[in-house]
Amino acid sequence: MTGPRTVREAAFDVLRRTGMTTIFGNPGSTEIPLLTGLPDDLAFVLGLHEGAVVGMATGWAIARERPAPALLHTTAGLGNAVGALATARVNRAPLVVLVGQQDRRHLALEPFLAGRLDGLAGEYPVWTAQPARAADLPGLIARAYHEAWTHRGPALVVAPMNDWTEPYDAPEVAAPERVVRPTPVLDEDVAGLMASLLEARAPALVVGARAATAETWAALVEIAEKLNCPVWQESFGARAGFPQDHPLFAGFLPSGRAGLRRALAPYDVVVAVGAPVFRQYGYEPGPLTEPGTALAVVTDDPDEAHRSPVALALLASPAAVCARLAALLPGPRTRPAPRPPLPPLAPGPGEPLRAAHVLRALADRLPADAILIEETPSSRPDLHRLVPARTPLGFVSAAMGGLGFALPAAIGLRMAEPDRPVVAVTGDGAALYGIQSLWSAAHYRIGALFVVLSNGRYAVMDRLAESGGAGKAPWPPFTEVSMHTLAAGLGCPARRVTAYEELVAVLDEVIPALAARETPLLLDVAVTPDGTFTP
């Protein structure tokens, strides 16, 4: 005879109903009552660091376009994960984050592992809650699912450890089973924006991560071809908002105001779609654009809309707005001549292997449906120039700017999209922030390719220090670090590559079968630190 239904069993039903049946976590003692004897229809994916846990969940959520659950262990777990949660928030990845807490029956005495969790993650969660009583916990998990999805970020629920085994006696779950979010956009809603585009002498579009869906891409291509206007990508964007091999793709906007003014000076109307107006890096004085350039933004992010210095902000689904604009704009579609192919790029006799050589060799071999995750700040301009995104997941990056995203995100993306080739391109300095993820890749047989551009230093920081002219930077290189040795120690197959001939040989071997690959591979590619950092 079975006992009364528990909070744990009710919570499992919520996970099943919402499709959150793959739980990413790094458990501690406060999570044992939840996890031991986990039902067979719920999968647990172990990460060896909380940054890896949240990074894998973020990749999964980005690919699936639905919330992913992550489990963290009280103060230490949540504290370790804050940087990754910030990345999830800025990347607008919906996560349901369960944080373990000590037994509520003696929290007043602050026992060992009792967490002071209020505000520990700052304002990066889109919503936080703690159950007033055990029976409220399943409802809060259900609500967190909706909050994460609506606000596109991590929703956090604190779970005292004894709550899971308490009887579940709530008469109802305090959250809807289903939320319908209709996104109708009427003709009159886009009338003002369409009039501005039709009256413009020289319009231009700026696209960002929230335009990175197949539907939005298709509509934006039609709009650009009807207007015969250039399309720019926002700087430091998390995803590509337009096919970057299209003839009308103009490139990436500069992240400084002077360069931004020069880039946008030819246009009298500029419409940002799914992108902020405009993402900046270092401060520069002066306006964003020259006088006479009218700005508008189309976004589903209220904060983004409300802070934009524009004449018109259209707060709605970018896909729905673009679909209406594409249908209403008159005229034939004009497709300019294709871009000429880039010239071959290989090192000359005696020339050292550079990041650009690696990126071009990779670009020449990647299939159009490849998912590429980038975290190589010093080589990002070369990557943008040489590796165009040809699908909405063709480029994924950490919009927050913190390191440690690429390795775990690639694992989550591959788990969610098991039939697509997945490649993470990262610097060795960046990879060290998420190196524990390689154990998860090996253990769960994640067939992703990790290309580490190893120069033994924080090259982008060196360049920034040099450009500032204030003297020599105090940090040393770390050339003693061996990425392939670290990977092997974590059970991940790895190869060291020191010459161009070795590189193309291994890429020719691995890339054609990458979609079907069942084990990870890390390429530790020795490159010379060179070039000029262009933010």
Evaluate if residue 518 carries a pLDDT over 50: yes
Q: Which CATH class name applies to 187-328?
A: alpha beta
The mean pLDDT of 67-73, rounded to a whole number, is: 97
Q: Quick one: how far is CA 117 from the chain centroid?
A: 25
Evaluate if residue 472 carries a pLDDT over 90.
Answer: no
Judged by phi (left if over 0) then psi (alpha if -120 to 50, else beta), residue 385 lies in alpha
Q: Measuring CA to CA, which residue among 193, 211, 221 is closest to residue 274?
A: 211
pLDDT at 37: 94
Query: What is the arithmetic mean of pLDDT over 437-462?
Result: 91
Residue type for position 368: A
DSSP class of residue 254 equals: P
Mean pLDDT of 109-118: 91
Q: What is the pLDDT of residue 469?
A: 64
Residue 535 pLDDT:
34
CA max distance for the chain: 79
The domain locations on the chain are: 7-165, 187-328, 355-526
* Average pLDDT of the chain to the nearest whole number: 92
Mean pLDDT across 350-363? 93
**CATH fold of 7-165:** Rossmann fold (3.40.50)
Mean pLDDT of 53-82: 96
pLDDT at 3: 61
Query: What 3-state class would DSSP assign to 200?
Result: coil
At residue 534, the pLDDT reads 38
C-beta separation of 404 from 84 below 8 A: yes
pLDDT digits (tens, 9 = 90+) for 456-470: 877 777 767 676 666
Average pLDDT over residues 295-312: 92
Phi-psi region of 488 (alpha: psi -120 to 50; beta: other; left: phi over 0): alpha
Model pLDDT, residue 468: 65
Q: Is the pLDDT score of 156 beyond 60?
A: yes
pTM higher than the cut 0.85: yes
Give the pLDDT confidence of 271-280 residue by residue, as tens digits.
999 999 998 8
Type of residue at 525: V
Portion of the chain with pLDDT greater than 70, in percent: 97
Distance CA 241, CA 217 (A): 7
Q: What angle do CA 193, 199, 205 make, to 5 degrees?
A: 55
Structure token pair of residue 481: 């670090």
Q: Do domains 7-165 and 355-526 have the same CATH topology?
A: yes
What is the topology classification, in CATH, of domain 355-526?
Answer: Rossmann fold (3.40.50)
What does the pLDDT look like over 373-403, one tens digit per residue? Answer: 999 988 899 999 999 999 999 999 998 888 9
Q: Determine the pLDDT at residue 35.
A: 95
